Amino acid sequence: EDKVVQSPLSLVVHEGDTVTLNCSYEVTNFRSLLWYKQEKKAPTFLFMLTSSGIEKKSGRLSSILDKKELFSILNITATQTGDSAVYLCAGGAGNNRKLIWGLGTSLAVNP
């Protein structure tokens, strides 16, 4: 059965810290790995990765995919309170647009 596992489930840090969120996947006909951020509302898209070793960056956030070891990491540097959210990882498979979702990592950034 396809699955996506995220770790840790929750994390509490102080502003300015750097965090690394983990996502491992077992997805048949894997095509892409996506990261979403969910504050107290709907998930919003952050990154999509399809190739190993190529880092995607957006400001203080960056992500990389390892297709050999079947995992991805999301790094957030110099964290701010506005980064507090649940970060969701999802695997895209085949041509059907379906995503397999992890349970998420709940990140709390304290001032």
- Give, in degrees to the nearest 5, the angle at Cα 15 between 13 and 20: 50
Question: Nearest distance from residue 45's CB to another protein, in Å?
Answer: 5
| 57 Cβ contact list (under 8 Å, min separation 6) | none
Q: Answer yes or no whether residue 31 interacts with another protein by CB under 8 A.
A: yes
Here the tokens at position 6 are 């995220």
Q: Answer yes or no whether residue 97 interacts with another protein by CB under 8 A.
A: yes
Largest Cα span, the chain: 43
Among 11, 13, 48, 70, binds another protein (CB under 8 A): 48
Provide the residue count of the chain: 111
Among 3, 103, 108, 110, binds another protein (CB under 8 A): 103
Under rule CB under 8 A, how many of the chain's residues touch another protein?
A: 21
Q: Which is nearer to another protein, 79 or 87 (CB)?
A: 87
Tally of helices (H runs) and strands (E runs) in the chain: 0, 11
Residues that bind another protein (CB under 8 A): 31-32, 34, 41-45, 48, 50, 88, 90, 92, 96-99, 101-104
